Amino acid sequence: MGYDGFRMLFVLLSNSLVSNGRVIINIKLNNKIMGIKTVEENKYILRRYIRLLGQYKGMKDHKDAIHYFIILHNFLVIEDLFYDQCLMANKQINAHLNLMKDVRFCATAVQYYKLLYDPNHKVRFGIETLDSIEDVRVFLSSDACKKADIYNKLLIEHKNCKTK
């Protein structure tokens, strides 16, 4: 292994988590290497899908897709807020998202909705079970979070829903 290989290994290990004597590579650093979009990129893409589908609200699929994308967006905010806990509990959502940035047709956005809403998809599993993490459950049951209405309105930043 050359100098660059050792340097990369050092960077990965120095930004890693150790659990039960095993090294868990910090996915935030590793995501760039693997080409996974950041939470910010995926939130931006989801907001674009919501705007696109919002232009044609008449169809039931569009309404359902908008509602699910709002929930998905907000749970990405929560995952980012409790990143370490989600990583340790293996409840990551962002790592399993593969959204296309340039979607121009509602049918494509609805197809993504149907794919992500599948009960066997890891994204839906992550959303449905994220509250099994103690810190997330406390956060979701807080008064401030209830006022923010995370199931119906977009959270733009963590500031909308504080932990106290």
In angstroms, rounded to a whole number, what is the distance separating the alpha carbons of residues 79 and 157?
A: 12
Q: What is the arithmetic mean of pLDDT over 61-85?
A: 91
**Pair 75, 153 in one domain:** yes
Asked if the model's pLDDT at residue 105 lies above 80, the reply is: yes
On whether both 111 and 43 belong to a single domain, the answer is: yes
Is residue 40 predicted with pLDDT exceeding 70?
yes
Nearest to 76, CA basis, from 145, 141, 130, 134: 130
Out of 13-27, 60-74, 107-121, 124-138, pick the least confident: 13-27
Same domain, 17 and 70: no
pLDDT for residue 117 is more than 90? yes
Local confidence band at 156 (pLDDT 50, 70, 90 cut-offs): low
C-beta of residue 109 within 8 angstroms of C-beta of residue 52? yes
Q: Are residues 108 and 27 in the same domain?
A: no
Neighbours of 93 (CB within 10 A): 23
- 149 CA to centre of own chain: 18
Q: What burial letters (b/e) apply to 98-123, b meaning 16+ CB within 10 Å?
A: ebeeebeebeebbebbeebeeeeebb
pLDDT, position 116 = 93
pLDDT band at 4 (very low <50, low <70, confident <90, very high): very low
Number of domains present in the structure of the chain: 2
Calculate the average pLDDT of the chain.
Answer: 76
Per DSSP, the three-state class of 26 is: coil
Do 2 and 75 fall within a single domain?
A: no
Residue 28 pLDDT > 70: no
Domain range for residue 23? 1-35
DSSP-derived letter for residue 130 is G
What backbone phi and psi angles, to 5 degrees, belong to 101?
-70, -40
pTM for the structure as a whole: 0.72
Q: What is the pLDDT of residue 125?
A: 92
